[in-house]
Amino acid sequence: MLLSISTICQAKSNDFRGVKSPTVASATSAAQKHVRNFMEGQFNKLERTYAAQIKLISGHEMLKAKYNLAGEEARKAGVIVNRAKLVEAMKKSFGGRPVVPVDAIDAVFNAYVFELLETPVGDYATDPPDPVATPDGKIHFSIEPGDLLFKVGPKKGDFLLFQFRSIAGSWKVVAEYLD
């Protein structure tokens, strides 16, 4: 369900996989802005926080047939999409409205926790909140050195995953799982 999201990074040390905390703080701030813009339906602002190409992980809400972003096989494996195409599909699907009702945005946003996951470089697999069509039933991210993966959602329940990478001095979403 797309309406689940949360605040406050749980980074517990000054050094996370070799990434210093000011960098973690700036990535957390970027993640919070990205999620807030999504909730508010500020899709044009998402163009600033998405990389030019984004991998939508298997099970991603926007991979459903009704959004016409990928064929059935791509929906099972995930697909890389162009930022403009993704943002346009989001605008169309929500009809220019906020994703979360305006009077509930603050409450929903404040209920979310931004947890920085400890991930190895390479394939990172985790259980999804809902079943996905991958062979092992898990969602997979390809983590590169310096990437940070945020799990965003309420303390219990559905969650979102955002993989951020520093590109030209700014944190950008390079892969995500929205359910």
Give the predicted TM-score (pTM) of the model.
0.86
Check: CB of residue 53 under 8 Å from CB of residue 47.
no
Q: How confident is the model at residue 22 (pLDDT cuts 50, 70, 90)?
A: low
Residue 53: its H or E element: strand 50-56
DSSP characters over 116-171: EE---SEEEEE--SS---STTS-EEEEEPTT-EEEEEE-SSS--EEEEEEEETTEE
Q: Measured between alpha carbons, how far is 103 from 43 in angstroms, rounded to an integer? A: 19
Question: What domains are there in the chain, each with its CATH number?
Answer: 7-177 (3.10.450.50)
Tens digit of each residue's pLDDT (9 = 90 or more) over 83-107: 999 999 999 988 878 999 999 999 9
Of 64-68, 88-92, 111-115, the one with minimum mean pLDDT is 64-68
